[in-house]
Structures are given as structure tokens and as C-alpha cells.
A = this chain, B = another copy of it.
Amino acid sequence: MPEQHRWPQLDQIAYGGDYNPEQWPRETWHEDVRLMREAGVNMVSIGIFSWALLETEEGVFDFEWLDTVIELLHENGIAVDLGTPTASPPAWFFAEYPDARVIDRDGRVLGFGSRGMVSHSAASYRDAVVRIASALAERYADHPAVLMWHVHNEYGVPVAEDYSPHAVRAFRTWLRERYGSLDELNRAWGTAFWGQHYGDWEHVGAPAAAASTVNPAQRLDFARFSDHQLRACYIAERDAIRAHSDKPVTTNFMANQEFTTDLWAWAKEVDVVSDDHYLTAADPEAHIGLAIAADLSRSVGGGKPWMLLEHSTSAVNWQPRNVAKRPGEMARNSLAHFGRGADAIMFFQWRASRSGAEKFHSTMLPHAGTDSRIWREVVDLGAKLGRVSEARGARVQADVAILWDFESFWGQSLEWRPTQDLDPRERIRAFYERLWRDGITVDFALPGADLSGYKLVIAASQYLLTRDDAANLTRYVAGGGTLAVSYFSGIVDEHDAVHAGGFMAPLREVLGCDVEEFLPLRAGARAAVDYTAADGGAHRLSADDWQDDLRITTAEVRGTYAEGPGASKPAITRNAHGDGTGWYLSTRLDAGALETVMGDVYADAGIAPAGLPEGVEAVRRVGEAADYLTLLNHTDTAADVPVDGVDLLTGAATGGSLTLEAGGAAVVRLEG
């Protein structure tokens, strides 16, 4: 598929949101398009939950209302991102095919009345999604308003795994293809343990609830399979659309929020990566989680611009406490996504629903109407995005990669690990947060990727690491790279089997050490480290949760445990390997400790903090004609940033320094 097909044919940054006109009388539609124009909306996503109204009985279609909506939008210059409504099959579907309901791990049959509650392995469902997607594509392929296709909605949410008989049968088929023989499956799963040997394919099932811990390799494969089944449904819809249309097809990811879909694999199947992102309200620094999500969306797409298909103007409704955004926060969030590569800024949803499960979710047009802070900020944001549209297509460049591997997450999240305190995403956030504060831009990468372009690679929690991928990391360092590995990495292979040779054996060469024994700590216990910095300074570093009993081969010991079961043993090591350096950090260092150690790691990698004022975020997009620096002040006080160029939001030249007001933002076209 040629590159030019991969972006909807808009001449601005896309701005808009999900639009659900079927919830409103037709007179409201006219008010909607008028207000959309007022807000600068240039594209909306429609049809996402409209199946029951489009296919009123099996095979009986009613497109009249949708024709009308699309025509009305088109007349008003608003483009359409046309959804397939397959995330929510109609009531008639479940009545006709009750066996297509999801059965959860405990054997509960999940009923109709919510969304996302269908077995993606049921042939009846696959047939139905192809039918509706084909019908939509056939009808609207050539409509000039329709610029792109939006398949389904947030695959994997709210439920990714299905234990129905359909899924069990499909799992067997998938396993036969994966392993070829039962002998190979028995070997891969280690079924000699606990007497789980299979002598017949028909005896192999899904890893449903059992009396105790179920075979972990089986569960890991079931996670792979479940992801595969969702993706197979996506591909079936996409191909049904492509039979009629060559406009770009996407489906909205939930990067850094939903972990059952392997976005690296999904990104290969979409024409443009798109993402939904919602702040974690309980986190006062939720904008860091946002930055991770944005960088991940960009990374899985190979660095190309991507679309933010959903975020919120203010509070959501499904978290324990749904904190409203403060004035200006929506714009900062939007520009943060833009700064990290998003060329579309869209929302769930246009107008607040009066009924249903999400009526307390904020929207572009709130229950309070247009005499409201939110509406005024929505209109203002539309104008702002127009002013920065020249930056479309510019690319973000990063010197640092953090490994992000869904399969490793799946393996590590299984039962009976050394301690419940292990949390791979916590460590990724900790390292990322350190780099964010230092103003250093990050890509995410798979451990088997070409890493040669990075000065620093961080394995924050790479539990599952194949020999091949470990060799890739080793080659990267030998070639001059700097690698920082945090604990509980390199433990198992792709079958969740401990590496022959012991924990971290595949990284022994590059790190100059391996792990003789894990020393997890009791709740509340501390694990301080006495660390000698590169400048000779002595530091007592704070840490907890975990220690290792290390065996040193070639590594230099840079930190030693001051307390805990590992007291007096090595805690932090540095190993020269080839032209590069491998660091190992064997405990959960806190933020201050990470700052100290990462300072030395940066030096090895030849990078340095950007020296920004605290709480100011800066990301650069490199365009063909110019570079653009997005600057966001997340604090309550103004901050001065040395920068030379023109702030596109105001049109003013910075004259060498720009004052970001409290909560303020700028997008500077750089000079010189």
C-alpha cells in the first residue's frame, strides 16, 4: 500500500471527535454541524456503535439516516472517519447466536447489555462483521466526505480473553499450527511438570480456572492466541473494506492503557496508527503517562505521524474518582500528543449523551452547553491547532530507547512469581519519568529491533528475553551502545521456561554478571545501596522490594547493598563490553537513586539532560522545512525557556527566550 494512502486527505491537523447523532433528534444535527464549524472541527468519527440501527435484522440494512448524516457533514465541510460498528453486536445477534457470547475464565457467560461482549472466535461473529463492514464500504467507499475507515473500537476492551467452546477449538487449531506436533507442544509447555502431558490434541483446552496455578506456558500462549483472534477479526474487516476502498483503514489502540493486544503486531496491519488516551486521574503527574502513551503510539508505527482518535476534554467517568481537567490542561494534553507526533487531535465525544453508561464523561459540547469553560476551550483549541498545522508530518527523533514487549508483560503477569511487588510497567514508568524530567526524548522498542540508532537502551523489566534477542542486545553494546538493565530481566525464554544456565544467563556476557538467587524483600523492608559515582562521589541510594545475589564475572561493582539480605553484596554493576557498556541495577531504586545512577549512565551514552525548568516539557519535531519545539509548562508558575524562533500559537518571535506562563504552552518554529 503506497505511503500516500496512509493518511486521510486533510490539509490540516485533524480536529474533532466521536459523533453519535443517532442519540439525538434530527433537528439537533443541524445545531451540531453549526457548532462544529464554530469550533474548527474538520473530521468526526461516526457509526462506531450503530450496528443495531444499520442492520436492523440479520441481513436487513437501513442506511438512510447515515446517508443523511454524512451528507450533512459533507455540506458543512466536515470529513468523516467512518466506523464499523462491530464492537457492539445488536441484540438480535445474541438472540440468534447465544453461543457467541464470551465465557470468562471462571466459566461465567457474559450477557448482552454492555459492549465488547462477543467471542471473536465464533464464526457467526466473523461472518457478521464481514457482512456489515462490506456493506458500509460498498455504500460509502466513494463518498467524498469519507476520508478513512475506523474498524471496531478499542480491541481488547473490556474483555480480551474468551474461554467459550469456540475459543477452545480455535486455540487447538492455533496450537497445531504453532507447534506442528503434540511432542513439541508438550516440550514447549513443560507438561512433564505436574503430570500435564497431552496424548491427544482433543485433550488440550483453554487455561480456565483450576484448583491451583495453571501451566504458565499454556497461559502465555493463550494470551498470544487471544491477541491473534482479535487481530484476525480486524484483518477480516479491513480486507472486506479494502475490497471496495483504498482509503486508509485504522483501529483505535489504547497505548499504555490496555495490554492484551500486541501493538507492534497490530501496527503492521493498519494504514495509520491511531490511539485513544485517557489520563489516570489519581496520578497528579498523569501527563507523564500520556507522554509514554504518545511515544509508544509513535514507536509502534515506526516513527510516522499518528492520530489521537480519542481523549477527553475533561473528566472521564469510569475511574474511581474522575477528576476534571483544570483550565488549560486540555490544550496542554492535546499539544503534548501533537509534540510527540500526533497529527490528529480528537475526542470522545462531540456531544454529551443524556443516557447510558457514559453520560458523565466529558465531551466537546458538555451538558452545560456552550456557555461553559469547556466549550470555550474547545473553540480555542481548534484555532490553536490550525496555527500549528504547518508542522504536520514532522518527525520526532530520540537517542534513547526503552524496551517495551507485550509478551514479556504477559509472561510476567502470571501467578507465582518471586514476589507480588514485581510490576514491569512500574519500572518502565520510573525510568521513563527520569528521562522525561531530564528532557530527553524516548522511543520504545522491541528487544529484537535494530537498536543501532540509539545511544542508550534501557531494559527496565524484560522478564521474557529470548537468546536471540539477548544476542541482539549484546551486539548493540559491542557496537558501542550503552545498555541499562534493571532486575528480573532475561529470566525466561518464549515458553516462560527459565534459561538454561540460570537467571539472566543470556545477558551474562554483556553485563559481566548473572543472578545466583533472587532476594525479594518483605513488605516495607528497605534495600539501600552504597554507590560510588563516576566522579568518585559516595551516595547512599534508597531502594526496596528486591535484591539479587549476583555472581560477578567481568563487571565492575559500582554499588553495594548496605542493608537487607544482600547486605555487603554487589547491587549495581557496570561492564565494558566491546565498544560499549552494560549496566545492571539489581534493586528497585527510587527516583532520587535513579537520578544519581542514570547520570553516570548518560555519561557513558554521551547524552545529557536538557536543563529545562522543572515541570516544563519539551519535544522537538523535525520537519522537512523546519523543526518545531513544543513547550508545555505543567506547573503553577511561569517559566523562562531559552529558545529562538516563532511561537506559532501567538505568532510572536521569541527573541532568544520565551516565557511560558503557568500552565502555558508554545509551539516554536525553530530558527538557526
| Interfacial residues, chain A to chain B (CB-CB below 8 A) | 20, 22-23, 49-53, 56-57, 85, 87-92, 94-95, 102, 106-117, 157-159, 189-200, 202-205, 207-218, 281-282, 284, 314-315, 317-318, 320-324, 326, 352-360, 362, 366-369, 371-374, 415-421, 495-498, 500-503, 514-523, 549, 551, 565
Contacts and interface: CB of A to CB of B under 8 A. Distances in A.
A315 B519 CA distance: 9
* Centre residue among A117, A212, A496 by max chain B CB count within 10 A: A212
Nearest to A356: B193
B517 A374 contact: yes
Nearest to A213: B357
Contact of A192 (B20, B190, B419, B520): B20
Nearest to A24: B192
A390 to B, nearest CB: 33
A214 B215 CA distance: 33
A113 B210 contact: yes
Contacts of A92: 199-200, 203
Given A20-B193, A357-B194, A321 B50 contact: no
B419 A110 contact: no
Contacts of A418: 315, 317, 322, 360
A194 B549 contact: no
A193 B421 contact: no
Contacts of A498: 352, 354-355, 359-360, 367
Contacts of A49: 192-195
B353 A282 contact: no
Contacts of A373: 516-517, 549
Contact of A419 (B50, B320, B359): B320
Nearest to A284: B522
A138 to B, nearest CB: 21
Contacts of A209: 108, 110-111
Contact of A215 (B217, B323, B356): B356
Contacts of A196: 52, 88, 91, 112-113, 356
A293 to B, nearest CB: 21
* Centre residue among A210, A417, A420, A565 by max chain B CB count within 10 A: A210
Contact of A320 (B324, B420, B501): B420
A322 B211 contact: no
A502 to B, nearest CB: 4
Secondary structure call for the A interface: loop
Contacts of A522: 281-282, 284, 321, 323
A388 to B, nearest CB: 27
A323 B519 CA distance: 6
A114 B317 contact: no
Contacts of A50: 195
A495 B109 CA distance: 27
B517 A366 contact: yes
A354 B497 contact: yes
24 contacts: A50-B195, A53-B192, A56-B199, A90-B197, A95-B203, A107-B108, A110-B210, A114-B210, A115-B211, A190-B355, A190-B356, A193-B355, A194-B357, A217-B356, A315-B520, A322-B518, A326-B565, A354-B497, A354-B500, A357-B415, A359-B497, A362-B517, A371-B551, A373-B517
B521 A51 contact: no
Contacts of A514: 368
A523 B369 contact: no
Nearest to A51: B195
Contact of A518 (B52, B213, B315): B315
Given A91-B200, A212-B114, A355-B217, A368 B516 contact: yes
A88 B191 CA distance: 12
Given A159-B212, A372-B516, 10 more contacts: A49-B194, A56-B199, A91-B203, A114-B211, A117-B211, A157-B212, A322-B518, A352-B498, A367-B503, A369-B501
A496 B372 CA distance: 23
Contacts of A359: 497-498
A89 B211 CA distance: 13
Given A215-B113, A373-B549, A355 B210 contact: no
Nearest to A216: B357
Contacts of A114: 194, 210-215
Contacts of A106: 108
A195 B157 CA distance: 16
A323 B193 contact: no
A421 B321 contact: yes
Contacts of A317: 416-418
Nearest to A93: B203
Nearest to A523: B321
Contacts of A282: 522-523
A666 to B, nearest CB: 24
A520 B321 contact: yes
Contacts of A199: 52, 56-57, 90-92
Given A200-B95, A367-B498, A518 B360 contact: yes
A198 to B, nearest CB: 5
A565 B113 CA distance: 35
A210 B159 CA distance: 10
A198 B354 contact: no
Contact of A355 (B108, B204, B497): B497
Given A57-B199, A88-B196, A212 B357 contact: yes
A354 B521 contact: no
A356 to B, nearest CB: 3
